[in-house]
């Protein structure tokens, strides 16, 4: 049996240069102007973000599907929108790293195992255990659950949100109030979903 070629994944982020234009209007214009079938692109998902951008995840047979899509959008819509290709990044979690392992060694091993350029690998946090000597590490994919930016609950996106709660757009992630961001928040954590003080709305550490 002939094996089908693997499809290439790509993500493009589009934002209207008119800050007053709703992302839904930008998306309607995009659909009228761009014929994805002619580009050999299969759209997997379209997400409107809290920042007013449109994130499009797509599949195609060519390595440059993101670039082809970007060029088509810029040709048809010109200065009406800005278009950015998001690099395909994969997040992993590595456990059981011994106390003598350095960040440089982690990058070197990941680069060798994945054949990725060492300059493209970023270690966000390195927590070592107390034991020393050679060790066999375990590697896991980091799982990202879909999250709604309107109600801050997990399991769905804003486009399919049926929550009756007040929108969280523009509010502090910690206390659910307007006028500041979480890093400047002087208030105690508050969960709008549970209507209790003590944890944030976006935490996964409590039972719903």
pLDDT tens by residue, 84-101: 988 776 777 777 777 777
Choose the final residue of a domain: 119, 141, 163: 141
pLDDT of res. 172: 86
Residue 196 has pLDDT above 50, yes or no: yes
| Domain-located, residue 15 | yes
- Helices in the chain by DSSP H: which ranges? 23-33, 36-39, 65-77, 103-114
| Domain-located, residue 151 | no
Instruction: In whole angstroms, give the CA distance from residue 149 to residue 49.
Output: 7
| Domain-located, residue 45 | yes
- The distance in angstroms from the start CA to the end CA of the chain is 48
The answer to whether residues 111 and 61 belong to one domain is no
Q: What would the DSSP string read from start to end of 74-99?
A: HHHHGGGEEEEEEP----EEEE---T
The answer to whether residues 110 and 45 belong to one domain is no
| Domain-located, residue 136 | yes
pLDDT of res. 134: 57
57-66 average pLDDT score: 83
Per the structure, how many domains does the chain have? Answer: 2
The answer to whether residues 24 and 59 belong to one domain is yes
The answer to whether residues 74 and 48 belong to one domain is yes
CATH for 34: 3.30.70.600
The answer to whether 49 and 15 are in contact (CB under 8 A) is no
Q: How many CB atoms lie within 10 A of CB 10?
A: 25
Q: Could you tell me the residue range of the domain that residue 126 belongs to?
A: 92-141
Of the ranges 70-79, 128-137, 175-184, which is most confident?
70-79
The answer to whether residues 77 and 117 belong to one domain is no
Structure tokens at 98: 């011994």
Q: Please report which confidence band the pLDDT of residue 142 belongs to, taking 50, 70 and 90 as the band edges.
A: low
The answer to whether 160 and 149 are in contact (CB under 8 A) is no
Task: Note the pTM of the prediction, 2 decimals.
Answer: 0.47
Q: Please report which confidence band the pLDDT of residue 195 belongs to, taking 50, 70 and 90 as the band edges.
A: confident
Alpha-carbon 30 to chain mean position: 21
């Amino acid at each position: 049996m002939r094996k089908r070629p693997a499809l290439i994944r790509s993500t493009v982020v589009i934002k209207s240069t008119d800050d007053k234009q709703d992302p839904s209007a930008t998306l309607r214009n995009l659909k009228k102007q761009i014929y994805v079938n002619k580009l050999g692109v299969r759209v997997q998902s379209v997400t409107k973000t809290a920042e007013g951008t449109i994130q499009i995840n797509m599949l195609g047979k060519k390595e440059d599907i993101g670039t082809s899509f970007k060029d088509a959008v810029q040709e048809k819509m010109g200065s009406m929108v800005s278009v950015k290709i998001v690099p395909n990044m994969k997040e992993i979690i590595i456990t059981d790293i011994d106390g003598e392992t350095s960040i440089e060694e982690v990058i070197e091993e990941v680069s060798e195992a994945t054949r990725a350029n060492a300059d493209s690998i970023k270690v966000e946090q390195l927590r070592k255990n107390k034991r020393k000597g050679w060790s066999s590490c375990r590697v896991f994919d980091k799982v990202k659950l879909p999250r709604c930016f309107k109600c801050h609950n997990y399991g769905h996106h804003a486009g399919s949100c049926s929550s009756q709660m007040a929108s969280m757009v523009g509010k502090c992630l910690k206390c659910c109030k307007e006028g500041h961001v979480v890093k400047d928040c002087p208030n105690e954590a508050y969960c709008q979903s549970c209507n209790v003080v003590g944890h944030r709305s976006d935490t996964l550490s409590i039972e719903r």
